[in-house]
Amino acid sequence: MHKEKCLVIGLGKIGMGFDFDMDTASFVLTHCAAIKSHDNFILSGGVDPNKACRDDFEKKYLSSAFSNIDDALNSIKPTVGVICNPTDDHYSVLMKLIESPNLKAILCEKPLSYDFDEAQEMCDICARNGIPLYVNYMRRADPNVIEIKRRIDCGDIAGPIKISAWYSKGILNNGSHLINLVSYWLGEYINHTILDSERSWNGTDPEPDIFIKFERGSLVLMSAWEEFYTHLTVELISPSGRIYYANGGEKIAFSQVTKDDLFDGYNVLVDEPEIFENFFLKYQYNVYDQLSAAIKKQENYLSDGFDGLRTLGILEKIRGDLYDE
């Protein structure tokens, strides 16, 4: 079986760290673990300036680690480039990857860039060179997220749809995941209103409360306090019932509508909701399943570069309003 040769640039938490000491039979939370455990990919090498990270990578994954991308590209000639180093360096890494002769796809951590124009250029360069670019909004690869989208599209979850959601650790860091997720379900962004904007995470990443109008519904996005606990939760309300998406997607339940046994003429939500199977603990493996389909020109649900750019555009509009206040 042919396997795609992957080079992971950045061996930090999402590259390698989150599940370093975990059993991949139960947890696949990083790029390295996903590639290593997937039949269609091979972990050909890693890049990181930190020697301790390189040593850990070589010991665990029995593959070569490099201190710089030039040496890695000359040695490996990957077919898949995975960008998960700091965001400020995404552009320079992509520019080197795009010159690699065998490259078939690039998977980049979000956001593509902190600068919208730079992100636009990254998308345009990949398009001109015929290299598909994908952004790792990993929830888009979750079979449950895809199923909820299917139910919305076919009317099993009927409109109008209202969503309330909580995020912590900044609008760029974690809030962007929920904006991308909700825009996948509800379609094109229309407008937004800032409800409150008193905080920022670590003084750099704003934490506003926002109302956002989309093509098929609306979102109220509220900020929580990462210093106390991480919180990413979504509640979707429709005439068909209620989707509760908890713990970042680890727990998902759908409560449909039923007649109230106590009060005649009233409807309520069922006491025992439909519980979705948990795919979240292998979220990064789901991404590589979708990436494999994409490389084979099959239907897939990944967030491509231009979709990631649309999410960044929404964030730019929100940040623009914040800075004008």
Per-residue pLDDT of the chain (325 residues; tens, 9 = 90+): 789 999 999 999 999 999 999 999 999 999 999 999 999 999 999 999 999 999 999 999 999 999 999 999 999 999 999 999 999 999 999 999 999 999 999 999 999 999 999 999 999 999 999 999 999 999 999 999 999 999 999 999 999 999 999 999 999 989 999 999 999 999 999 999 999 998 899 888 999 999 999 999 999 999 999 999 999 999 999 999 999 999 999 999 999 999 999 999 999 999 999 999 999 999 999 999 999 999 999 999 999 999 999 999 999 999 988 876 5
Burial letters 47-85, b for 16+ CB under 10 A, else e: bbeeeebbebbeeebebbbbeebeebbeebebbbbbbbb
Q: Looking at the chain, how many residues does it have?
A: 325
Q: Who's near 36: CB < 8 A, 6+ residues apart? A: 24, 43, 61
pLDDT for the residue 166 = 98
Domain with CATH 3.40.50.720 in the chain: 4-138+285-304
Q: Which CATH number does 4-138+285-304 carry?
A: 3.40.50.720
Given this model, what pLDDT does residue 187 score?
Answer: 97
Cα angle vertex 83, ends 79, 88, to 5°? 145
Report CA Rg, the chain: 21
The Cα-based distances of 254 to 16, 229, 235, 244 in angstroms read 33, 25, 10, 6
pLDDT at 202: 84
User: At residue 285, what is the residue type?
Assistant: Y
Distance CA 239, CA 256 (A): 9
E-strand ranges in 197-320 read 200-201, 205-206, 209-214, 217-223, 233-238, 241-246, 251-259, 267-269, 274-275, 303-304
Ranges of CATH 3.30.360.10 domains, the chain? 143-278
The strand pairing partners of 124, in sequence order, are: none
CATH hierarchy code of domain 143-278: 3.30.360.10
**Phi (first) and psi of residue 210, to 5 degrees:** -140, 145
- Predicted TM-score (pTM) of this structure: 0.94
Do 69 and 258 contact (CB within 8 A), yes or no? no
d(CA 249, CA 144): 9
Angle at 172 between CA 288 and CA 169, to 5 degrees: 95
Model confidence over 81-95: pLDDT tens digits?
Answer: 999 999 999 999 999
pLDDT at 324: 67
**pLDDT value, residue 203:** 84
